[in-house]
Structure 1
Amino acid sequence: MARSSLPPLAAVRAFEAAARHGSFTSSGRELGLTQAAVSYQIKVLEERVGQPLFHRRARGVELTHVGTELAKKASAALDVIADAFAEAQGSAQATLEISVIPTFATNFLAERLGRFQIAHPNIAVRLEVSETLIDFQSDTFDIAIRSGKGQWPDLECHKLIEIEFTPMLSPALAETIGGVSKPEDLLKLPILGGGDPWWVRWFEKAGVNSDVLKGRPSQTFGPQILEATAAMAGQGVAMLTPAFFKSAIDSRQLIRPFELCSSDETAYWLTYAHAYRNTPKVKAFRSWLVQEVDGFLQTEKQRGYVSRASSLADRD
């Protein structure tokens, strides 16, 4: 039989339910339809078949001989479709694929992801660290975490953590100039990523003319985690987000000479395609991340590592 001649699935479902219940009204309750809607769908099917499928009785309906034979095969066919869909859905929900930028992956997500796995043992997580923008139409990722201003078209974007930054360096490097007590002292030392606009913004907020950075040699490291590693090795002063390097500060691998932080309205964002917004695994991860981020922000605000903290749920 040519598939082009197949009847509408809605009509088949209405017929199969009515055949099981022996009632248009009861099948309507199962399918969320009115009795009239069920009757219409069955009429569509009867017109396709070319003969009645039910005898209409005063107390319900009764299958005709043709209807009885059709009901057996329709029920079996719907079972096959249901099983195939359940299998596909189970496979899709089994693995959550996340693309995340290096600093957020290393300094936030990696040390917490185990808690998500414990809370959701049926969801396996595949994590890829990358700064490459994700095309959800062609890539296999369900979720991406990126930094920016959340202006990505056709994506659901949820702000996670607003990015603040301040200069940080190793204690040993600071001692080479007798310590750092004022912003201008930083200019006596190598500046890592001196071409980064963050330096200009921070110096201007500190009351230092950013022109002092012009003409200085500049190394480009990319992710914050790489600049932080170079700074801990005494290679220069890095502009970093203090909340992500609290362990290095607590262990004195890095020092933060000034409380002053600056920002440029960028943040870390959770992003995914609109079509994924109601996917159970995506909803589970987002709900978990809301709690983790809120707890992190409140704790770090109390410790002085962030100057602002607000609920993710309030920001959506």
Structure 2
Amino acid sequence: MHEKLPPLFTLQAFEAASRLGSFSRAAEELSLTPGAISRQIRQLEDWSALTLFKRNGPKVSLTDDGAALLARLAGPLSALHQAIYPPDDATQKTLHISTLASIAKEWLLPRLDSFAQAHPHIRLIIDTDYSLVRAAPRVAMLAIRHGTRQSTDQICEILFNDRLVALTSPALAATLGSDARLWPASAMLQHLSLDAGSWQTAAGMAADFSPQGQAYNDADVLLEAAELSQGIALGRLSIAWRRLQAGSLVLASDVVCATPRDNLLIMREDSADLPEMRVFTDWLREQARLWQREVDAFDQRHPVL
């Protein structure tokens, strides 16, 4: 009795050649050469002391011993495949979404009910964090981020563009006026990771202007402070939209700029075709398309500088 099993890859080569009836077709499926498949089969025949195939030119067929071995291997190989790639179960899927709290609260959640109603068998786990967690292979996980598109081995596509606007409460807007050049530095709230230079330049503010108001690392908390009349905030239109529609925030200035960063959809290539991923990303892109209509209408009223 052998103490060791033959390599798993040798068994995979045998299974593919048996199923396809050809070493060449097995080689193509496994991204090898026909010679490599032939060597794997010879090793398995030496290992088992059995003749597994009858050769007839380019075609091969199983001997009785080969057929018996294939029958014994069918169950174990299937179990290994299912262990690595669990079978689809339409009754319950789980999809992980990594994003920023501001995007989740102000852009994603208001739209999410339509997805939940259409796909009740997909359970969403939304993880809000500033760090971008790298997904494991073939895990149903994607990220929605606000940043710059970088060279990566992951799929990274622009989900939707955005606008940079100055926002405050109606009361403070009436007090300070709409000319940003006259705003005191103490009235300007600061987002710790936002590049405000393009907006300040477009508004005609001094090159050395530096906000001196309260500083925040979260875009949604920043807007909360502006809503409470604690200052003027530069923020993204997508995050401020609901407050603008409700009237709790107003544009403090008519100056509108394109954001230097984009709202990105990020996912691994080996996960993108999972059924739950395809369903959600199709829905997400449609939501982004509908949002773009709102942005286009906004641009008509407030031209981008």
- Aligned partner of residue 176 in structure 1, secondary structure: helix
1: distance between equivalents of 2:126 and 2:251?
31
Contact 2:191–2:219 (Cα < 8 Å) also in 1: no
**Structure 1 equivalent of residue 213 of structure 2:** 218
Matching of residue 5 in structure 1 with residue 6 in structure 2: yes
Amino acid at match of 2:6: S
Q: Gapped runs of 5+ residues in structure 1?
A: 19-23, 309-316
1: distance between equivalents of 2:275 and 2:222?
37
Deviation at 1:10, TM superposition (A): 3.0
**More moved, 97-106 vs 116-125:** 116-125
**Structure 2 equivalent of residue 257 of structure 1:** 252
2: distance between equivalents of 1:109 and 1:219?
27
**Structure 2 equivalent of residue 102 of structure 1:** 101
1: distance between equivalents of 2:224 and 2:75?
62
Q: 1:228 to 1:6 in 2, by over 3 A?
A: closer
Structure 1 segments, 4+ long, off by >6 Å, are none
Deviation at 1:239, TM superposition (A): 0.8
2: distance between equivalents of 1:195 and 1:97?
27
Matching of residue 146 in structure 1 with residue 145 in structure 2: yes
Contact 2:143–2:265 (Cα < 8 Å) also in 1: yes
Contact 1:97–1:141 (Cα < 8 Å) also in 2: yes
TM-score by length of 2: 0.77
Amino acid at match of 2:132: L
**Structure 2 equivalent of residue 280 of structure 1:** 275
Matching of residue 187 in structure 1 with residue 188 in structure 2: no
Contact 1:116–1:288 (Cα < 8 Å) also in 2: yes
Percent identity between the two aligned chains: 22
**More moved, 267-276 vs 46-55:** 46-55
**Structure 1 equivalent of residue 243 of structure 2:** 248
The C-alpha deviation readout for 1:102-124, integer Å capped at 9, x for no partner, is 22111111112233333433321
Contact 1:16–1:74 (Cα < 8 Å) also in 2: no
Q: 1:194 to 1:97 in 2, by over 3 A?
A: closer
Amino acid at match of 1:166: V
Amino acid at match of 2:107: F
- Aligned partner of residue 263 in structure 2, secondary structure: strand
Contact 1:301–1:307 (Cα < 8 Å) also in 2: no
Amino acid at match of 2:233: A
**Structure 2 equivalent of residue 70 of structure 1:** 69
Contact 2:192–2:216 (Cα < 8 Å) also in 1: no
Contact 1:54–1:61 (Cα < 8 Å) also in 2: yes
Contact 1:53–1:67 (Cα < 8 Å) also in 2: yes
Matching of residue 209 in structure 1 with residue 186 in structure 2: no
Report which of the two has the higher share of helix.
1
Contact 2:226–2:232 (Cα < 8 Å) also in 1: yes
2: distance between equivalents of 1:239 and 1:174?
14
Count matched residues: 292
Q: 1:260 to 1:113 in 2, by over 3 A?
A: same
Q: 1:157 to 1:306 in 2, by over 3 A?
A: farther
Q: For 1:1-316, what aligned pairs fall within 5 Å after superposition?
A: 1-6=2-7, 8-14=10-16, 17=19, 24=21, 40=38, 45-53=44-52, 63-64=63-64, 66-67=65-66, 69-85=68-84, 87=86, 94-136=93-135, 142-151=141-150, 153-177=152-176, 180-187=177-184, 190-193=187-190, 198-211=195-208, 213-214=209-210, 217-304=212-299
Contact 2:168–2:249 (Cα < 8 Å) also in 1: yes
- Aligned partner of residue 155 in structure 2, secondary structure: strand
**More moved, 47-56 vs 148-157:** 47-56
- Aligned partner of residue 86 in structure 2, secondary structure: helix
Q: Gapped runs of 5+ residues in structure 2?
A: none
Q: 1:69 to 1:187 in 2, by over 3 A?
A: same
Amino acid at match of 2:76: A
Q: 1:32 to 1:151 in 2, by over 3 A?
A: closer
**Structure 2 equivalent of residue 312 of structure 1:** none
1: distance between equivalents of 2:199 and 2:247?
23
1: distance between equivalents of 2:253 and 2:267?
37
Contact 1:300–1:306 (Cα < 8 Å) also in 2: no
TM-score by length of 1: 0.74
Amino acid at match of 2:12: A
The C-alpha deviation readout for 1:175-195, integer Å capped at 9, x for no partner, is 335xx1422343387111187
